[in-house]
Structure 1
Amino acid sequence: MVSRTPRAATLRRSTHPAQPLPRRDRGTTAGALVVALASWEVLVRVSNTPVYLLPAPSLVFHTLAQHLPTYLQAALITFGEAWLGLLLGAGVALCTAILVTLWPRVEQGVMSLAILVKSTPLVVIAPLLTIWLGFGWQPKVIITALVTFFPILVNALVGLQTITPSLHDLFRVWRASRWEALWHLRLPHSLPHLFAGLKVSAPLALIGAIVAEWTGASGGLGRTMWLAYTNLNLPFLFAAIFVVTAAGIALYQIISHVERRMAYWRPIP
């Protein structure tokens, strides 16, 4: 039995860290957030701003605590729709990027269709999907996938097509097939670019789900915000905005954690 030396164990930890890398100073971010909320609170109280124009943060947090089960249930619905839509959009974008990389002749036509989808306003697509598919989760997931598709596609293409020439020549010397080069060279090389696109698309996924819920839904944060807006209940509306922000941060952190596990050779702050 071969025993591991301390040097080998150190090398293994340095190339495949089990724990996330140290974060930057979190106290600065927390302090800035506290200062912003405190300034907001003081501004509202000093100026005597009416609640129907701008509620104080203390009132917003009180509303959130008072109706916490309602917000949690709505957040689970919207978060699930956003997550499914993000996975669907990422899967289609990655498959499209692989198709374009292996067959460059179709790039112009595929990118033209992708730009067409990107340029179509959500306010036009969302009502149509609601009419065709009803008020369930399907139109929300499709809208979210459409929103997240293009940023991931562009980043995946950059990662798959930007290969170090020496490595590409090495695979040619080894007479690797296109699929072998794709699996062993292009896909691993594209991971940082792919995760960059996922990080950009994570907030867009929530926005897409919420916009789709505005056109018709039986639940979710979008419906909660719409009902609060129509009733001019701004504390309820701002509480929903805070929940959306927390959900966006959570989605971003999940993607960052997966990136640290898959692209472990690349230091991530």
Structure 2
Amino acid sequence: MIDSHCHLNFVDFDENRDEIINKCKSEFKYIVDCGASIEGNLRSLKLKEKYDGFIKSTMGYHPVYAGRDNQETTQKTIAQIIENLDNIQAIGEIGLDFSEKRSEDELKRQHDNFHKMLELASEYNMPIVLHVREAEKHALDIIKEYPNIPDVIFHCFSGGKSTALEAVDCGYYISFATNALFSKKHKKNIKAVPLENMLTETDSPYLSPIKGEPNQPSNIKMTIERIERTKHIDFEEIEKQTEKNAIQVYNL
């Protein structure tokens, strides 16, 4: 198995991080740990270095930070990503977040910095990992302006079926997380999206299927089981194909 998106670098795992990672080694090929800020990017890279060959890292600029940071912090984040391009598998998570009411200034910063990240990915031929909460179609339309980006992952996709299929038509990947266990919308998307365009993730420590506990990579089995029940495809086939997809998109 491959958890294609989690945040083991977060402080939530400070007390049991090593235990969780070592437990996963017997069942997982890789775990992709994703950065979202200057500090998170650095922590993710250190985690990758500690577990070299098993933990893979991405560096990004989460839209919530991208919408609020000053220009100096934005430039430092861009410089950090450029400096570490040889050490990461993708740029992300990046994107837009319309889940809360935001000021015009914040929305403009989100958009401006999203374009900067897309320009970076296009220039350096890097895949991208998208956080586009309640902005899926809008973000898709923007990404189409950057055809040189090699691969696109819609992390924890929660948009509509038509947007998912449009993304698939562009050759992009739709990643399903453990929140797919509880959502009719996700079930419709799982039915619609071809297995060849699917990734599986946990987004740990978020989206835990176990009440009162932080999510962790081992729970990805539940995501695969959800796909198995919905698409009527054997667990092993889903596991094999989603592994293949992750290896391809992240160049693992």
Asked if TM exceeds 0.5, the reply is: no
Q: Using CA pairs under 8 Å that are at least 6 residues apart, name the structure with larger relative contact order, 1 or 2.
A: 1
More strand by share: 2
Q: Report which of the two structures shows the higher radius of gyration computed on alpha carbons.
A: 1
More helix by share: 1
TM-score, normalized by length of structure 2? 0.23
